[in-house]
Amino acid sequence: MIRVAVVLLFALFASNQVLADVYKYVDPEGHVYYTDDPKNSLYKRIIRTRPKSYAKALPFVSVNRKRYADMIAQAAARHQVDEKLLHAVIQAESAYDATAVSSAGAVGLMQLMPDTARRYGVTDRRDPDQNIDGGTRYLKDLLRMFDSNLDLAVAAYNAGENAVIRYNKSIPPYPETRNYVKQVLALYNR
């Protein structure tokens, strides 16, 4: 029964129909619970979906890319992060839509969650300059944390650094995260 539930859960994750973030909790007895609406901080996000506006923003990628190019270049230089990597992450996260909001509350070009924004001193996640700066600093910390391993830093940007650490410093086995890493690296290597 549990195997069937797990297989169905991963099949759902792999489909394009997932519209909400998915959280996991393991209780002290080892029971595993999944939800898209965590009731407390014991649940950890394991799948992050794109904002609903992503598909609508795609036709405007080249225009918006140009609009934010200077901010991205400045943040890259200021924090010594590859500008091409920032562009790849922003395109994968929001398709350059500064107003993007995910179902879990990630906001802006780099889809910052409230805790990440606080951690990096971002007071207005909707402000493109603050959002790019905070996301760039987070990405730089992830690159440092994972010894410049681009795959792991990108996976951690999607699934969280604790997920990468929990899976022995490897890409977590979440289909959404694995696809995200492939997408960002493809954009980066273009």
CATH of the domain at 107: 1.10.530.10
* Residue 93 falls in the annotated catalytic set: yes
Quick: pLDDT tens for 107-119: 999 999 999 999 9
Q: Answer whether 0.85 is exceeded by the pTM.
A: no
Quick: pLDDT tens for 70-107: 999 999 999 999 999 999 999 999 989 899 888 778 99
| The pLDDT value given to residue 148 | 97
* 77 and 26 part of one domain: no
* 130 and 175 part of one domain: yes
Q: How far is CA 28 from CA 25, 42, 77, 165, in A?
A: 10, 11, 46, 21
| The pLDDT value given to residue 49 | 59
* 100 and 28 part of one domain: no
| The pLDDT value given to residue 127 | 97
* 31 and 71 part of one domain: no
Helix (H, G, I), strand (E, B) or coil at 164: helix
* 65 and 151 part of one domain: yes
Q: Annotated catalytic residue: which of 29, 83, 93, 161?
A: 93
Distance CA 172, CA 145 (A): 16
* 179 and 153 part of one domain: yes
Positions in the chain short of pLDDT 50? 1-19
| The pLDDT value given to residue 12 | 41
* 30 and 124 part of one domain: no
| The pLDDT value given to residue 16 | 39
Structural domain containing residue 60? 54-189
* 106 and 177 part of one domain: yes
Number of domains in the chain: 2
C-beta of residue 146 within 8 angstroms of C-beta of residue 152: yes
